Structure 1
């Protein structure tokens, strides 16, 4: 009993020193835990809330409008819901709430709400949108020279895999249908997206790209759909990216990072051809070609619940898979030569080539960062080479390139160890797992498929061998 009381005291102290507001009710709706952060958010005295029914504390709520009551009654959690409301001091605040049911031995005993104050983030988001809008208003002719436009001529490679992707993309350029591009980080998905736009029917219309992983969902919604004056504190009439891209192309980069609620709104736009600004009542027709990208297999994203299946089917009218660099290593020399020429000119150097040894290391390397990683490595090496040197050698590159490239599984060396058979087998298994993980950029699902074992089995073995990802 004493241990239980100590544990409860420790837990209460932890909850009072974290940044999020915590509100816990029992199955009767009475508050059993209410931390200082939540008290400050709602402008209440903590002692006046504890042991009181939530409907007595907030008379404007009922069992249907209270997220805590809703979750407790349904047993289903509510994740990342934005709420803007007046606290008891009359201050307007915006919070992001997650509410989950609490169970003991499969019996519902209450609900927990975690609230984070994003009022300042909301204000900052308004500044970001204002800045974006100012940039959009500038004379397009002034901006054009500073924007790098890519076409299919900028895609380097002669491998069968890259040629197949380019062929599909060229055909997509002649269409207005939605395109879904799948490729790992650094494979060149935006390069493909721009090539489709600037070689297609809409090339003289706007091309606007938005990374969906870079912003909170509430901010991203305002940026995409625009806002109506008075819809929230500081809101003004402002067109979103859909309106700005009207007649052209909107690239939604890393669509799988977007919240499911926003994904449903994007689906409606694709289906109905109009948008509605945040806080607005007016439907605005738009003519925008959507290109979306994802950095993981869309079917895996659907299985994980990060991509709506109905949105996937609507976007995946034309599907393009951009191959990883390790899948087209015959393009390595071509790419290296291209980047050497590019950074010779940019950095005023006279590099001629890679040494044969470095090229062999590159062939054995798994390239988790793909073409972007290769370009960065070449740029870094040319920065370090002296003006009278003309060949890039291994000392010009980071040590991890050498270590991984030479770190393939050598069974003969393992067998030489004076270990028992189970120890030798375990060592071989560990090295094979490490090699599979590195060759897939530490993607557990892909590594498990490569090893032909279940994902859960691989996770268990990673933990067993204490492999650091």
Structure 2
């Protein structure tokens, strides 16, 4: 496993789970032309398979038959893998049954008492609710994992450290969606290495911008501290500048002699959140610092040199901030070359599955006195999966706590649709998707499709737009064909045929 790898070399992929799961995943790998060789095994035989076949990746199943006994065996196996091979073997856990999601989340923690990370799992693969044609299938997720592992393996062979497992300090807690894997495994390590650049992270509230900024610092190799500041927490720009650069006594009313966060972040990273809250005067000082690597404390004429890398974040795009005259054009142009966008949860829905697994397992440790909840039934899963989640992962985790509390009061270990409806008073908190949202989503999809595919005629584009509207409606209704047809005032039979057709093509690995 230490030899260099390129796309022409065969990748060894271990598969451990039920006989049906192992057989299906092996068939996916064999038919998808991934240049990978599957090694299926029952969980009880997995260690022997690993010792014999030396896989680069192992995919473990957490399925409907998973039990405390199975979990104990799996935890022991993962511990053996890390003890013997450290991070050489890339571990993917397939969340194959929403009723047992908590078992998958449990693997992220070292013990059942606290939140100490285990370091066992590198990524999740998640089965989506049925009837959602635009959600990546298990086949597509496996192909994505294999493709990105090749990049990761090349990084390691260049002498770079392995990417941390889920839950590690400075790393993401859970992920399953290919969009997130692309961000964390392809783009983030690349941008972390650009240590002379000052990246900006764009994303809605609750999407994980702070975690991503820390990961940029962690992988950069810079030996100094990771320091953070949110300018809106201060009552004036003068106080923000003093906090950043320091001040001399008497520089302003109440000023005392002190050094700022720039000094503290020497040879490290200074993360400035909510960039839009910085006024233009301070933006100018930051430009000067970035260009000259020197600054002055407030009230001082003496220049001080510093080696600090900035990472900025905002919930608004650079274009939006420029258009509304919040951000100086020259500042925006310096930042636009290295941008990372963290998409909202509604655009990377498989992370909902991973977030549920993490949230359920975390809550068991925070509320050990409560009845443990192991997962959600298919109805509840569909309801949670199709919601827009305006508060993103933060909102999801908070709502998992509410759902588990009601499940405990009902004496059940599985959250059902009635509990979801009761907790959210017949609707999930936040705005439900409307026909306007559906059309807007379809328009965005059409735009991306047109940029990456040849457009033969206006009529073809119109037909594609109608298809995207129908797909978006199915997502908004959790795959409920009847509700989607009612929302669009469309033919239910046409929607059903289209949904089945797209899903069949995805399973066969065909492209539109």
Q: Are 2:419 and 1:382 aligned?
A: no
Q: Are 2:180 and 1:157 aligned?
A: no
| Alignment partner, residue 412 of structure 1 | none
2:230 to 211, 218, 222: 211
Whether contact under 8 Å (1:151, 1:196) holds in the other structure is no
TM-score (normalised: structure 1):
0.53
Q: Are 2:344 and 1:324 aligned?
A: yes
Q: Are 2:206 and 1:186 aligned?
A: yes
Q: Distance in 2 between matches of 1:212 and 1:400?
A: 39
2:354 to 311, 327, 334: 334
Q: Are 2:197 and 1:175 aligned?
A: no
Query: 1:253 Cα deviation (Å)?
Result: 0.3
2:297 to 266, 277, 283: 277
Task: Give deviations 1:219-266, integer Å, cap 9, x for gaps.
Answer: 211111111012123322100111111111000001112111111111
Q: Are 2:436 and 1:391 aligned?
A: no
Give the total of aligned pairs.
271
Q: Distance in 1 between matches of 2:271 and 2:168?
A: 14
Q: Are 2:327 and 1:307 aligned?
A: yes
Q: Are 2:288 and 1:262 aligned?
A: no
Q: Distance in 2 between matches of 1:200 and 1:232?
A: 37
Q: Distance in 1 between matches of 2:205 and 2:440?
A: 18
Q: Distance in 1 between matches of 2:271 and 2:357?
A: 30
| Alignment partner, residue 291 of structure 1 | 311
For the pair shown, which has the larger CA radius of gyration, 1 or 2?
Answer: 1
2:245 to 198, 222, 225: 225
Q: Distance in 1 between matches of 2:290 and 2:175?
A: 33
Point out where structure 1 has 5 or more consecutive residues left out of the alignment: 1-144, 410-431, 441-449, 451-469
Query: 1:151 Cα deviation (Å)?
Result: 4.6
Q: Distance in 2 between matches of 1:199 and 1:379?
A: 32
Cα–Cα, structure 1 residues 153 and 232, in superposed 2: closer, same or farther, change >3 Å?
closer
Cα–Cα, structure 1 residues 246 and 396, in superposed 2: closer, same or farther, change >3 Å?
farther
Task: Give deviations 1:346-396, integer Å, cap 9, x for gaps.
Answer: 111411012322222222211111111111111232344427421223156
Q: Distance in 2 between matches of 1:317 and 1:342?
A: 38
Q: Distance in 2 between matches of 1:283 and 1:404?
A: 50
| Alignment partner, residue 352 of structure 1 | 374
Cα–Cα, structure 1 residues 151 and 403, in superposed 2: closer, same or farther, change >3 Å?
closer
Q: Distance in 2 between matches of 1:391 and 1:283?
A: 62
Q: Distance in 1 between matches of 2:373 and 2:183?
A: 31
Q: Are 2:383 and 1:361 aligned?
A: yes
